[in-house]
Structure 1
Amino acid sequence: MMPLPEPRDIPPRLATGAFILNSGLGKLKADEATAETLHGMACTAYPFLKKIEPDRFTKLLAWSEITVGATLLAPFVPTRLAGLALTGFSGGLLGLYLRVPGMREPGSLRPSQNGVPLAKDVWMFGIGLGFLASGTGRCGVVAGRCRRHRRRTC
């Protein structure tokens, strides 16, 4: 039987999962101009994406967001696995923030007005890292029994 998420993990899983899922569903309906804009920003940060057509890229991005959002919302998905998905996804978004010109104040990590929508991804990254660390007790036991203390976690 799969363990349910810890009660402390439910609020951030619901909040981030719903946010990302909604974003992905919205991108499924993106028009050509939106697809071009999203693709252009992504190609600035990740040049290898130029090989993908803007419409296809936007659909792939949308389905990625839907998958990550659903993973966070599904109670049967272990929190550490959901954290891995969230950390990877938000890490890619932070790459956009760091690499796209005009997203940050000159010579600083502080966001410019244009960068604020991407700067918020640092919170999702932090939540993801927290989920990755969940399940480890004082002894560092992950998904097992602490042999020294003979209990599930310490």
Structure 2
Amino acid sequence: MKLAHLPLRVSIGAFILNSGLGKRNLEGGAAEGLHGMAVGAVPQLSRLEPARFAKLLSYTEVALGAALLAPFVPAPLVGLGLTALGAGLVQLYLKTPGMREAGSLRPTQQGIGLAKDSWLLGAGLTLVLEGFTHGRRSL
């Protein structure tokens, strides 16, 4: 891990790891609510039962958070995982009714939490792109 990546990877990795650990035992209404929002953005997820979806999301977040914290996992690889998670959250923001002001990308008060997740997409793309440009001259 490059020293310059340390603040980014530790802060995001700890946050995502904690989020995944918090979803480990979701059941009932909590799992249904999480699943319902996800299905609104990605209808194919309706094939999964809510509790199963919550478990899979938990495992995914724990694995990604741990990979971000592990210094031996290459930046482009964790960047791909972070980009996928960030893209999914941005899709959730864009497709969930009431998250954006009408005809705009600007978030409503309810959408601010999801809109903020766009930073995950940016951080993931930064790690991926840095891997492609490592050792090359800057523009």
- TM (normalized to structure 2)? 0.93
Of 55, 60, 66 in structure 2, the residue corresponding to residue 59 of structure 1 is 55
Q: Give the drift of 1:32.
A: 1.1
- Richer in helix (by share): 2
Deviations 1:21-73 (A, max 9, x none): 10000011223111010000011111111111000010011111111111111
Deviations 1:83-108 (A, max 9, x none): 11100111111110011111111111
1:79 is matched by which residue type in structure 2?
A
Of 99, 107, 114 in structure 1, the residue corresponding to residue 110 of structure 2 is 114
Q: Which runs of 4+ in 1 moved over 2 A?
A: 137-140
Counterpart in the other structure of 1:126 = 122
2:99 is matched by which residue type in structure 1?
M
1:42 is matched by which residue type in structure 2?
A
Residues of 2 paired with 1:48 and 1:82: CA distance? Answer: 25
Of 5, 11, 25 in structure 2, the residue corresponding to residue 9 of structure 1 is 5
Q: Classify the secondary structure of the residue corresponding to 1:114.
A: coil
Unaligned 5+ segments in structure 1 are 141-154
Q: Classify the secondary structure of the residue corresponding to 1:17.
A: helix
Equivalent positions of 1:1-154 (< 5 A) are: 5-135=1-131, 136=133, 137-139=135-137
Residues of 2 paired with 1:40 and 1:12: CA distance? Answer: 31
Q: Give the drift of 1:138.
A: 3.1
> Over aligned residues, Cα RMSD in angstroms?
1.3
Q: Give the drift of 1:114.
A: 1.4
Query: Relative contact order (C-alpha < 8 Å, sep 6+): which is higher?
Result: 2
Q: Classify the secondary structure of the residue corresponding to 1:28.
A: coil
| Structure whose CA Rg is larger | 1
1:138 is matched by which residue type in structure 2?
R
Unaligned 5+ segments in structure 2 are none
- TM (normalized to structure 1)? 0.84
Counterpart in the other structure of 1:151 = none
Residues of 2 paired with 1:69 and 1:120: CA distance? Answer: 18
Give % identity: 54
1:99 is matched by which residue type in structure 2?
K
For structure 1, which segment, 129-138 or 48-57, has the greater mean C-alpha deviation from structure 2 after superposition? 129-138
